Structure 1
Amino acid sequence: MKAIVTGAAGFIGFHVAKRLASEGFDVIAVDNLNDYYPVALKEARLSALTGDANVQFHRANIADPEQLSDAIEHGADADVIVHLAAQAGVRYSVENPAAYVDANVHGQVAIFERALKMRKRPPVVYASSSSVYGANKKVPFSESDPVDHPVSVYAATKRSAELLAHSYRHVHNLASTGLRFFTVYGPYGRPDMAPWLFTDAIFQGEPIKVYNHGDMQRDFTFIDDIVDGVFGAVNRILTNPGGTAPIYNLGNNKPVALMRFIEIIEEACGRSAIKRFEPMPPADVKCTYADIDLAARDLGFSPSTALEEGIPLFVEWFRGYNGR
């Protein structure tokens, strides 16, 4: 079978593309290698990915229909599109909202329009985010909860992508499934996320910013568990597109207090952090916590990596990648 993976040089996209190739899929990998964070990391991922004979890489901005068409020309008979390309980062969306509308909204439309023109009209498994739950007080967050009050432009664009998917299912009968990822971490992770920022600061002897004075919780989810969930969603939509829910949460189902998270990183690094306590940024939320009953039922999703196991694996990779 053949899969198109967008955002294949990104953190989750890289790992998903590798898994699909290892499972025998021919993978058309697409990414624009934007410079939101250092391109060298994306190139390192691609180097690890494109050594696989089952993977072809094409550079393109998925929000540009012409570039997208050229990039996936060899994937015109694809069986599924795994659309993970996006402008990432909650806090950066405060500074540059247009980048999020372009990648996350225009890009979603471009992918769906391309799917409609392809020979097999492949179903689309796409990335959403736990951020769509905004400042909801009820926990754990369930797919049936209201998501009408996003607290960041990033979250608003991810919710827009979900609504667009609904429209294309209704108007064009295009099968799709959105996956709401909860704070994904692990080897090859993003430099703008807390595991990298804190680990780097600890090794540099620099202070870390502890938001909301440490009174926060996150449902940290290890990358291998996320990849299992994505692969489960791909299998489900290929074998039973009519029996696939429009949205699934993919999280660890075990939120961890921020101060405990810092302790685990300190233990893995073998040294203490210098903490600088700061108020909550306006685009952040206090807690994320995934209800994963639906994903467990339909996708066989069963995350098994505790933070105490996953963070040392990340720190080990970080030290090797950065020569620490």
Structure 2
Amino acid sequence: MREFGYERVLDVSGAVALLGDDPDARFLGGGTNLVDLMKAGVERPTRLVDVRELPLDRIEFTPDGGLHIGATVTNSDLAAHPEVRRHFPALAQAVLAGASGQLRNMATVGGNLLQRTRCGYFTDLAKPCNKRAPGSGCPAIEGEHHNHAILGASAHCVATHPSDMAVALTAFDALVSYETADGPGELPLADFYLPVGDTPHRETALPPGALITGVTLPAAPVAAHSRYRKVRERASYAFAIGSIAAALDVRGDVVREVRLAFGAVASRPWRAGEAERVLTGGPASAEAFAAAADAELAAARPLPHNGFKVPLMRNLVVAVLTELAEEAAR
């Protein structure tokens, strides 16, 4: 492993200043992804700036009745928080589905948003990868891609984003707060992750050297009636081959509001806006749910070995929305 410096910081401005002085430094939260990438040689920081002691570990109500989640809140604390479980159950379920208890105890909310793809070509330095080495190629397109993207990919990259938590946050219109040397800023999660396009190495819209300080969930009554469902290739903890965060408000068998986001199908969490549009104001029936899924998945462009994800996601939409509709009818 390459030698690197290490510094622990106690205030946000100090953390931001350190990265401003050293663009090859990296913020260290739980390290559950960064340290693995350092071991593989994918990440080679000159210095780690440990932000775990920053005062960003609270979950608090916002004036509009939403929740603000500090960036250093651990995944375990997020999933166990009573207000998260009450008002945003799909978020708690997504976090619990994401990793073992040991990893959740270390991993932080800010770090979860910034985790890198688990594509095998990205983590293998002997192989080309446009995300790791721009312009070198994407061997996954002709190679191993059974768990790669079916939506929003490009000829330059077909990797998927691995986060479960980010899928639920996308469904609930989360806002990401950050701090730079020029002051604070905020990005809707819908704009936080960049389309893969021809620059897959540029993954987020964060300014250089920015430190994520928190995530805000606006008040959303529909989110109290939500669910996260994850499909994986083994019963123990694994990355998704398809997942869905869904929330549904049904009155008199009519869909008043619906939120849908997909995971493991694109380079970023995929907000299913077309499916939401088709469903809103229509019947809460299995047939309508299937038609909405088909409308969203019409844009899918599967590769030879991952076409199974299209019916998988269709079935997930129908199953989860049907369960939520049946609960609303009780």
- TM-score normalised by structure 2 residue count: 0.30
Which is helix-richer, 1 or 2?
Answer: 1
Q: Compare CA radii of gyration and give the structure with the larger one.
A: 2
